[in-house]
Structure 1
Amino acid sequence: MTTNNTVKTNSAKAWLLAARPKTLTGAAVPVLLGAMAAYLDANNEIRPLPIVFCFLFAFVMQIDANFVNDYFDFIKGNDNEKRLGPERACAQGWITPAKMKRALYLTTLIACIIGLPLIYFGGWPTIFVGLICVLFCFLYTTHLSYKGMGDVLVLVFFGLVPVYGTYLLAIPSPSFSISVEALVLSLSCGLVIDTLLIVNNFRDIDNDIEAGKRTLAVRLGLDRTLQLYLLSGLLAISLSGFVFILKGHYFSFVLSLLYLPLHFKTFGLMKSIRRGKALNAVLGKTAANITVYGVATAIGMCIDTLIG
């Protein structure tokens, strides 16, 4: 069986599309910033191995989340002909539901196996954090997204957990003292990545109302969600910028500002399109903005470490 004349069901191309490689930016940026925060604090002396495992865990968990989302949204009937977002594997017939169900359990198992070595660096609490990540990966699609909890979960699982978690695992001598800079950077990263979810929910307001999903965008409405998109990016840069300047990390601050003109431009595009499938272009540009934010900020942190 083939679908869309180009994708053979359950083929390698089908699985690549189902994995949604473009979403891996959201997995990579928090780990990158957590590693650079450790690099900045530890004066060039960091543990590279846990960073590698954090990257791998984040990548596999992101793919796992995509499979979970794809499967359960299809089963619940949310991926129907009214869907405005990018095409989904099960709905398009690229992957059969039975295969997707097996794949999401397999990727969950692989993520857990990848995470096991981190116990050596972070101790037994690492198991608890890993299990929480897996649990909420399923709970988000099946329950919490319907209750408007998505934005909070992004701040936690694309901000606090991967940024600060990577930071703690990467520094040579972890302590119980809190790094304000790493903590604020975690929140800033979560806010930037949340702009991606805001675009998704903004585009899907009408469909989500029909499906009974009470996302934050549904609660706020179109105009206030637009404002939320703009303010999330501004608040992110303001928070991290304040701490960077306070710590004397001026390159980190200046290079992070490269994100702002892109964010303003994408906001303008989002405001002008307002409704429909055309908002998927805003989704792609927002993902690109996140990459610029992560890479530029990381380069600035690297420079500040070398000259500090």
Structure 2
Amino acid sequence: MTDTATISPTKAWVMAARPQTLPAAAAPVIVGTGLAVHDGVFAALPALAALVGALLIQIGTNFANDYYDAIKGADTDERQGFTRVTQSGLIAPEEVKRAMYLTFAIAIISGTYLVSVGGLPIVVIGLASVASGIAYTGGPYPLGYHGLGEVFVFIFFGIVAVTGTYYVQAVDAVAGIPMTIPSGTLPLAALVASLAPAALSTAILVVNNVRDIETDAKTGKRTLAVRLGYRWSRVEYLLMLAVAYAVPAVFALDPAYSQFALLPLLSLPIAVRVARTVLTRTDGAALNPALEQTGQLLAIHSILFALGFAAPAVL
């Protein structure tokens, strides 16, 4: 834990935003954009707007987690994770709550441009993403408290983010404001590609929850790791890694793509190193760095995946 007496208000807000989690927001946008370049539908403004929206939703979700975990008693002094600003008293609970709503409001406002491009499907995606970000630890049935956190992350920080990013670029050339998804703007390839960042984003959460198994169990937070225990949570982590590296191989075998799709395999040594830690350690001293390293793995894997898609189109 950090010595809170030496932390400035500015640093406290940075801690609350959790910049180490932002690769989970940026990675699927990067992958979706790489595929858009490959397919010749790249559009810079929609791609940038998708990135801004994803980052804002991630930060808003972080504020929500900090606030709700504290008021529900899930965060205690025994917790081995990074310092939570609400529980530690660095920022008043009501301030964190206001920041959460403000961040989500800015995300919705900034998303109006994407709505003008993508129409009703983007309205549905945007509102569902915000609602789920709050419901992850808030509301009458917190997803993270009932073993559904991984499902939320896999869907919204993987499938929805990648396909949504691709869609807003592909639909940019379509006249009018779509009420449904126009033909050709959401190919199967976007869904398949989304599985890689979805898996690695989920792997980040697995590390977080494995680290907190003991304290979460004491406070009644029934995460999937609490339900599965150490052994099967580690199996889940390995499964997520397997999915992340199988997806590029699927594209490399498709004649429509190239061997550049295998570029993410260059990150495999990082995955092996982090997996060794996750498979053998339970303490925060080891798993906090492993959590950050899994986030770095997600970022590197996604950049390489996007380059693998884009390379044949730009070389």
Both proteins in one fold, TM over 0.5:
yes
1:234–1:260 contact (8 Å) kept in structure 2: no
RMSD of aligned Cα (Å): 1.7
Q: Which piece of structure 1 moves more, 25-34 or 120-129?
A: 120-129
The CA deviation at 1:228 is 1.4
Question: 2:212 aligns to what?
Answer: 204
Q: Give CA deviations for 1:194-240 in whole Å, capped at 9, x if unaligned.
A: 11001011111112222222222122211111121112111221123
Question: 1:144 aligns to what?
Answer: 143
Whichever residue aligns with residue 144 of structure 1, its letter is: L
**What is the TM-score normalised by the length of structure 1?**
0.92
Question: 1:176 aligns to what?
Answer: 183
Aligned residues: 301
The CA deviation at 1:251 is 4.1
> Cα–Cα, structure 1 residues 133 and 293, in superposed 2: closer, same or farther, change >3 Å?
same
1:245–1:253 contact (8 Å) kept in structure 2: no
1:41 partnered with 2:39? yes
1:230 partnered with 2:238? yes
Please give the alpha-carbon distance, in whole angstroms, between the structure 2 residues aligned to 1:216 and 1:14: 29
Aligned sequence identity (%): 37
The CA deviation at 1:19 is 0.9
Question: 2:4 aligns to what?
Answer: 4
Q: Give CA deviations for 1:249-283 in whole Å, capped at 9, x if unaligned.
A: 33432211122221111111222323444311211
Q: Give CA deviations for 1:151-189 in whole Å, capped at 9, x if unaligned.
A: 111111011111000101112546334522211111221
Please give the alpha-carbon distance, in whole angstroms, between the structure 2 residues aligned to 1:281 and 1:25: 15
Question: 1:158 aligns to what?
Answer: 157
1:40–1:305 contact (8 Å) kept in structure 2: yes
Q: Which runs of 5+ in 2 are unaligned?
A: 175-181
Please give the alpha-carbon distance, in whole angstroms, between the structure 1 residues aligned to 2:127 and 2:121: 10
Please give the alpha-carbon distance, in whole angstroms, between the structure 1 residues aligned to 2:90 and 2:217: 27
1:233–1:260 contact (8 Å) kept in structure 2: no
Q: Which piece of structure 1 moves more, 265-274 or 162-171?
A: 265-274
SS in structure 2 of the partner of residue 132 of structure 1: helix
Please give the alpha-carbon distance, in whole angstroms, between the structure 1 residues aligned to 2:249 and 2:21: 26
Whichever residue aligns with residue 96 of structure 1, its letter is: A
Whichever residue aligns with residue 124 of structure 1, its letter is: L
1:71–1:90 contact (8 Å) kept in structure 2: yes
SS in structure 2 of the partner of residue 228 of structure 1: helix
Please give the alpha-carbon distance, in whole angstroms, between the structure 1 residues aligned to 2:282 and 2:13: 32
SS in structure 2 of the partner of residue 202 of structure 1: helix
1:270–1:282 contact (8 Å) kept in structure 2: yes
Please give the alpha-carbon distance, in whole angstroms, between the structure 2 residues aligned to 1:209 and 1:274: 14
> Cα–Cα, structure 1 residues 79 and 23, in superposed 2: closer, same or farther, change >3 Å?
same
Q: Which runs of 5+ in 1 are unaligned?
A: none
Please give the alpha-carbon distance, in whole angstroms, between the structure 2 residues aligned to 1:64 and 1:153: 15
Whichever residue aligns with residue 29 of structure 2, its letter is: V
1:298 partnered with 2:306? yes
Please give the alpha-carbon distance, in whole angstroms, between the structure 2 residues aligned to 1:55 and 1:16: 19
The CA deviation at 1:40 is 0.8
1:251–1:301 contact (8 Å) kept in structure 2: no
Question: 2:266 aligns to what?
Answer: 258
The equivalent position to 1:194 in structure 2, one of 202, 216, 223, is 202
Whichever residue aligns with residue 257 of structure 2, its letter is: H
Whichever residue aligns with residue 12 of structure 1, its letter is: T
> Cα–Cα, structure 1 residues 276 and 107, in superposed 2: closer, same or farther, change >3 Å?
closer
